[in-house]
Structure 1
Amino acid sequence: MGYLHFNGHAYEVRLDPSTWSEANGAANLLGGHLAKIESAEENAAIIAYVLRQASLETWGYYAAPDGGGAVYVWLGANDITNEGQWKWADGTDVAYANWGSGSLGSEPDDYTDPQYSPNGQDGGALAVNRWPYPAGGIGSPGQWNDISVSNALSFLVEYETIGLRNANPTNLTLARSTVAENAVINSVITPLSAQDADGDALTYTITDPTGTFAIENGNLVLKKVLDFETVRQYSITIESRDGYAGVTSGSFTISVTDVAESTPPVSITRTGTADADVLIGDTGDDTLSGLAGNDRLYGLEGNDVLKGGAGNDTLEGGAGGDIFVFDIKLSKTNKLNKKQNLDKITDFVVADDTIHLAKSVFSKIAKKGVLKKGEFYVGSAAHDRDDHVIYNKKTGALFYDKDGTGVAEAIQFATVTKNLKMTNGDFLVV
């Protein structure tokens, strides 16, 4: 089982059923003590960890008959010495507490039952279920209950320093290890992934002697032009770290795939006017700029760059890895923007195409480069302050939200196809 890391301490659920005294002794032998919870933040982190472990190890958690039949984990809290004077296992007073309380009663109540708690209830435990189980009415998961110290339960050990109580990340993988030779600079090649039994946030670093690849926001990103006829494979090493000296690494080979090349196409640049223009590319990597007016831009083949400019434009990239640029100031409200500057991308392909957002326009986005994962959200509206680019997959609408709170109205700047599997990797801030 993994550990929880919080404020420099490590926590571990032990599954061997033990009375409170047995659990206290076992925790000491392990070099720790029964958990001492001193804040709401610590309690929230611990119950999330315990519930996560419970979902993996449901066979190892035990119920307390005198605790409403719910499942519990022993904490260090107890009033064994003096009834009603709650102490931690180290003898210090219990200052912060999270006792259960509801319509059917409140804890601690020192309930005496002839069969299950004839000597009262002197041990503090963290609930995994509601109690009385299953309907509740007194307490919920994460709240505390006083129960008989003779109950045989799992228990939570706290270690003062993380030390060796840390699992290394494992299963470092790339979702894909090939890249087409015509891939666009700064395009995402593949997301990285690794597992951490402790649930720690992981970071990634890369060693690439050629500088062809980099890691941005958990993705492997292309940084140099590829040519199948020159170099067909690249060897890289990636490390994943958990912030507590836990590390894993892996060596990977990135293979370049050939793209059929005939006569090199000629790239063209076409620019519109203040009127409603129709601009059509060719087989090359074309750049089409609509300027003002409600323009229609067709890239056809090649890796094209389409800039609608002002007006309500229709953009169709066609074949290839196309870039759709949004660098025109947005109107202040959706109502105005729909009339003045709302573009429609008719054929956005998640695997190939990219949307470029000008930092000068989308100014609240943190920094240039691949859009951070936390700044992209799929839904009808932002759900926290970091959500700046929102994709409503039911309508296909793309929004820019300055503050993620709803105080400043989100502005729709484009429409794409519905139900795309869009991610932050589809956006590049330039």
Structure 2
Amino acid sequence: MADPTITLSASSIAENLQDRTLIGVLSVANGANGETFTYSLTGSLSDRFEIVGNQLFAKAGYPFDFEAMSSLDITISAESNTTGGTDVADKSFRLSVTDVNEAPTDILLSKAIVSETAKAGTEIGLLTAVDPDRPEVSAAVMPTFTLLDNAGGRFQIVDGKLVVAEGATFDFETAPSLQIKVKVTDAGSLNFEKTLTINVTDVSEIGGSSRNEKLKGTESADVINGGAGNDWIWGLGGDDVINGGAGKDILYGGAGADTFVFDTPFKKGHFDQIRDFKSGEDKIQFDLNALKSFKVKAGKSDLLAFGKKGGKPDDKGGKPDKGGKPEKKSSVGLDKVFKEGKLEKKFFTIGTTSKDGNDFVVYNKKNGTVYLDVDGSGSAKPIEILKVKPGTTVLFDDFLFI
């Protein structure tokens, strides 16, 4: 016959228990029929448990932490309640601590600084979550980050990174810091929210006048405004914002990712030249208000088509109305055709003339000139709006509208 031995009906205990919890039932196998036993605990962890009758309980106020201790050992003794009863040896039991999902407890941002001149897509910092279930991890591993407050549309989250959103502008003088609110959700749908502060760094601002001038930036990020003269402007180092203003200006961005701003109404023969434009790094930014004077003949259905992916204006006289007559067309500014953000590919072409009815921006790579074609079809004479070095690569997504 086998020796008597203590048994426990359970082999695990859940982590984070706060209340008194039944773990399992104790018994003695191979004892005498009808024999009862009194059980007791020994060992370093005995103060965390108690035995009532033949039931093993975890005491209240002693939660176990899977991350700190994934298993534990307890030793139990059994003494027969019968005089001269069965002699049972003490026995150790290993209880595994089961992992229970816990909500994240903090959100960290590796860097919380943005320059006044930061452009769309600029990375601010990497978001990470502090989660009791595992060490600090990035969004690519487990949690999902969501912006509850994006500081007026200035920021977005891409692949776990906080980046500058399209159309975002920053001004240290009016808002030296901005606040965002981020929520992190783990794989078990538990979440945590936190407000983070993003500090805006001041950028040197250099202004011209109505005279013809030569303006130079610094090796850091600068904002340079040329004024009304025919200026020469050098951004030098840093991610600069260069605005020639009115007049015919010669612009050099220099090193860094520079933004060339055009926010004054265009005049025939008055266009700036960008001598060192770098596609994919620099940006050409138009203020939509500067395009109001360029009129497009279009009906309502044409304008709706402009706003749709792949849409083209009706070049056959407009959609007939209910009376069978062609839809009446009226003049609208190009500011109503383009939308804030990147230039849509359907409005751009490379060549000497427009290729279809909505090529409003034409880039002649051979001579380096960017034109506005007000009818989008090439039937009207295009208007020169800026020039780059001949042969320079310029693509549709190099243009921004604000």
TM-score if structure 1 supplies the norm length? 0.39
Q: Which has the higher contact order (CA 8 A, sep 6+)?
A: 1
The structure in which a higher percent of residues are helix is: 1
Q: Which has the larger radius of gyration?
A: 2
What's the TM-score, normalizing by structure 2?
A: 0.42
Larger strand percent: 2
